[in-house]
Structure 1
Amino acid sequence: MLATPDCPADNQAPQLAQFLYGNVVHNSMKNFSYILFFLLCIQVNGQNPPDRKQFKVDLLTIEKKSKDTLAGSIIEIYSGGKRIETDITDFDGISIFYLNESDIVDKKIRLKIYGLKCKFYESTFSIKEDLKKTIYLQYGQTEYNDPHQIHKMYEKLNIKPKEFHCGTID
């Protein structure tokens, strides 16, 4: 039997089947590669951070002379004459919070800190990136002398305690 381009000989049938199967597998893998690439592009695009920038502010409050860390210091953050955040230091005198770039006027923030048994502290900082500062307070005359006065100070400063949610939110 003679083989023509349109009709292969009987002995060439296995080679033809292998050739066709190879092309099918090759084309399937090629299509799979395109689909996988497309899906990865969608996933990568979905993981872009939001356009709104947040600055991380990391403060450590310490008493200037004794070098004691000051737990329970009340912090108010102002920008453009408006209070934009409040926080309280933990047992190690550390306060970490985030500020939205849109809330900051002229890239400046003003900190007001009421430390336990310490003089009132106020200072202005320029904020162009994350801020990490050690704040040195001095023991002195204050109306915040006892940790049990924290609720009274919150009331005086018109601060609402932050709500913390544990577990899942319904």
Structure 2
Amino acid sequence: MKQLIYIVIILFSIQTNGQNSTERKQFRVDLLTIEKNTKDTLIGSIIEVFSGEKRIETDISDFDGISIFYLNSKYIINNKVLLKIHGKKCSVFEKEYELTDDLNITIYLEYGESEYTHPKQLSEMYKKLNIKPKTSTCGTVD
């Protein structure tokens, strides 16, 4: 009986931090890329995300100029990320953001000097930036 009391005391004194952790595992990033003056959505903008001098994610905007991706918190240093966006016919956009919650922003790019001027250059830009295209699967799982 004494052993049972000790076991109950030990079980109640152990903290169970694993179940109610306040640390986020992932941040959702929603970007909309628009040209600043014409307000046109920019299709095929290449997004690079850096944290602490290391690129931690890449993505590309869809036909609506939207890019949605997730950032793993273990790769984010000091809660800061740098977005570097290459839009077609636009100057490269760079801005640092502090991540405390999911990020939902509109990025205004400006037409200017750019190496990326045509959709057919996408694979060339991937090679130049050392980005491996992401693979995705379509269909249903049986």
TM range (shorter): 0.7 to 0.9
Corresponding position: 1:69 with 2:32: no
In 1, the alpha carbon distance for the partners of 2:20 and 2:132 equals 30
Structure having the higher strand fraction is 2
The higher-RCO structure (CA 8 Å, 6+ apart) is: 2
How high is the TM-score relative to the length of structure 2? 0.81
Distance 1:140 1:147 in 2: 16
The Cα shift of 1:105 comes to 0.3
Query: Relative to total residues, which structure has the larger helix share, 1 or 2?
Result: 1
Aligned-residue RMSD, C-alpha: 1.9
1:104 counterpart residue number: 76
Q: Distance in 1 between matches of 2:83 and 2:121?
A: 21
C-alpha contact 1:52 1:102 (8 A) present in aligned 2: no
Contact 1:59 1:132 in 2 (8 A): yes
Matched AA of 1:89:
S
The number of equivalent residue pairs is: 123
Aligned partners of 1:157 and 1:56: how far apart in 2? 23
Q: CA deviation at 1:52?
A: 5.5
Q: Which of the numbers 65, 81, 93 marks the counterpart of 2:65?
A: 93
Q: Where does structure 1 lack aligned partners over 5 or more consecutive residues? A: 1-47
Gaps of 5+ in 2: 1-18
Instruction: Output one character per residue of 1:18-50: Cα deviation in whole Å (capped at 9) or x when no partner.
Output: xxxxxxxxxxxxxxxxxxxxxxxxxxxxxx799
Could you tell me how far apart the structure 2 residues matched to 1:86 and 1:159 are?
7
Amino acid aligned to 1:66: T
Aligned residues: percent identity? 61
Work out whether 1:78 is the aligned partner of 2:55: no
**Normalised by the size of structure 1, how large is the TM-score?**
0.68
